[in-house]
Amino acid sequence: MVTGDSTNTARVIGELIGLVGPDSEVVTGEEFAQMSDQRALALLPRLKVLARSDPEHKQRLVKLLQAQGHVVAVTGDGTNDALALKRADVGIAMGLRGTDIAKEASDIILTDDNFGSILRAVHWGRTLFENIQKFIQFQLTVNVSALAIAFLSPLLAVLARFAGITWAGFSQLPLTVLQLLWVNLIMDTLAALALALEPPRPEVMQEPPLRRGAPFVTRSMLETSLFMGGYFVLVTLVMQATDYLGAPWSPAYKASFLFTAYVFMQVSNSFNARSVRPERSAFRGVLQSKMFLATEGSIVVLQILFTTFGGRIFSTVPLALSSWLVILLIGISVLALGEAFRWVRSRKGDAAGASIASPRTLRVGA
């Protein structure tokens, strides 16, 4: 807490709000100004109150915190807060009682002057950040698998022909152009909507913030996308190359099965994408995400309709009940494999591949 009030007043207020404890340091702006940078940096972990402070003292405190790699937010309402508000990574001015100079120097204006609004903004900001990560992880998996299938299927057909092996399943692409367009349509729109509208989870506020410059796409996201994408490619190519249910199928029936199975694998993968951290289950809080469940259910219904009645457009034929049961089992296998992969990674102690730093918040008052 940085304030122009006297030391005694600031100390009492700090104790009342639980900011000042037995090991806390309370210093005046004059004492802070006389310290060297080295001594001030050593003091920062214990410094809780800076009393009788001038604008230059506030600005110096922000600079020292930033020099340690912290992301600094400053709240203020007066003209003497302008330097610190301007220097901070995020300057937050009071909208009701704040001066015009403070508002001009800030990045955010609290229209209700309520500090609780900052917490809600951070909560929603973290939720939006995480939801974007979920969608990117999902899209990486879809695109990696679709591109790999489109490349490997004709390549395997050519290699088999040179080797004298007859693989009738590779005589045609597993997914037609229109089928790929449909996959991209539902995954880029409906799936994006489902993941983007995930509700905030309370525990996200208990997690420390990411360090400055932390990668948006984490190592965990990349490894999950490559692992699950590889599984989709393997399952699709095996189904394409073999008559895995015994009796040979017609090319049209096999194509319909492959198309529908691939979409159902992606639907299951959208559940996996709900977790971008190895230690978090993809099913945690899923019942509270009603929009997500409704969207995924809509995709399943549309796919069933298109497979059954969209023959002229999507080159499909109706599937038997036994085939639908196999497709359902394939989708369940994606969910089980995703959970197993996250469990193995969490056992290794990998915390999403991103380094974190302890938070520092600087509140400036009159």
CA atoms within 13 A on the CB side of 95: 11
- Whole-number Å distance between alpha carbons of 50 and 27: 5
Residue type, 113: D
- Whole-number Å distance between alpha carbons of 47 and 43: 6
The arithmetic mean of pLDDT across residues 150-158, rounded, is 82
Query: What's the predicted TM-score (pTM) here?
Result: 0.78
Residue 124 CB partners (closer than 8 Å, separation 6+): 200
pLDDT, mean over the chain = 85
- Whole-number Å distance between alpha carbons of 302 and 304: 5
DSSP state of 189: I
Angle at 210 between CA 209 and CA 211, to 5 degrees: 115
Tell me if 109 sits within 8 A of 118, measured CB to CB.
no
The arithmetic mean of pLDDT across residues 59-88, rounded, is 92
The pLDDT of residue 349 is 65
Structure confidence by residue, pLDDT tens digits, 91-149: 999 999 899 999 999 999 999 989 889 989 899 999 999 999 999 999 899 888 988 98
Does the pLDDT at position 338 exceed 70? yes
What ranges make up the beta strands (E) of 63-154? Answer: 72-76, 90-94, 108-110
- Residue 353: which pLDDT band, with cuts at 50, 70 and 90? very low
- Give the chain's radius of gyration (CA, Å): 28
CA 111, distance to chain mean position in Å, is 29
The pLDDT of residue 162 is 77
The pLDDT of residue 359 is 43
What is the residue whose two structure tokens read 């950040």? 129
Domains, in order of start, for the chain? 7-118+359-363 (3.40.50.1000), 128-347 (1.20.1110.10)
